[in-house]
Amino acid sequence: MASEKEKDQYDYLFKFIIIGDAGAGKSCLLHQFIENRYKKGSSHTIGVEFGSKIIHVGGRNIKLQIWDTAGQERYRSVTRSYYRGAAGALIVYDITNRDSYNHLVNWLQDARTLARADTSIITVGNKCDMKDKRAVTFLEASRCAQENDILFLETSALTGEGVEDVFIKVARVILNKIEDGLIDPNTMVSGTHTGSQRIGSDSGGEAMSSKTCSC
């Protein structure tokens, strides 16, 4: 890990959260993105998992700090403290499971109220390799996303199809917002940071007076 730190050079740090119903494939999606392979025999997430990766978008190095949450309803009280300050949110549903799609609205509401008002949100229809069991059409989901003014993509965490695109797409939107002056990366609570603040600086500089979990 020490060696990783040396090459930990980035321009911006974006915090992402992955939310959605249990069994939609959130952890597999994250694993596919970080490790570039499918996570076999994985178990469900208890609480939250975490992953980070540096991607190159629009000539910038962006570090994504990704929080993968447990999907079961009753974990919401635990996971909601991790929404805070997220610059990007991935709402994952399973295209073979109608219920997980129907719950999109609830997740969307959570993301909007608990993260940031200007969080960039993408709906991710996962398991698109299972076309024969499809219960939600591409058109329907894409229309729903449009109505709610959020992005939409279909992915397969199994084959890796579309997975990287999801993260890059959201990162690009956030980057555009920063460059258009809609988001000031320096004033954010913890959703994005400029890299220069962190690299080589004493970590004490990061500590803010407010407490994390008292939302």
Under the rule (CB under 8 A), what is the footprint of another protein? Answer: 1, 5, 22-23, 41-44, 46-50, 52, 65, 70, 72-75, 77-78, 81-82, 99, 113, 190, 198, 203-204, 206-208, 211-215
| Between 73 and 184, CB nearer to another protein | 73
In whole angstroms, how close is the CB of 142 to another protein at the nearest point?
26
User: Residue 19 in contact with residue 92, Cβ under 8 Å?
Assistant: yes
The letter for the amino acid at 24 is A
In whole angstroms, how close is the CB of 41 to another protein at the nearest point?
4
Q: Among residues 25, 15, 16, 17, which one has the least CA distance to residue 45?
A: 25
In whole angstroms, how close is the CB of 143 to another protein at the nearest point?
26
| Between 81 and 196, CB nearer to another protein | 81
| Between 59 and 200, CB nearer to another protein | 200
Other C-beta atoms closer than 10 Å to the C-beta of 30 total 26
In whole angstroms, how close is the CB of 107 to another protein at the nearest point?
15
| Between 7 and 59, CB nearer to another protein | 7
The letter for the amino acid at 106 is N
In whole angstroms, how close is the CB of 25 to another protein at the nearest point?
11
Other C-beta atoms closer than 10 Å to the C-beta of 77 total 8
| Between 180 and 210, CB nearer to another protein | 210
Burial class (CB in 10 A: 0-12, 13-18, 19+), 160: middle
3-state secondary structure of 62: strand
Other C-beta atoms closer than 10 Å to the C-beta of 93 total 27
Q: How far apart are the first and last CA of the chain?
A: 31
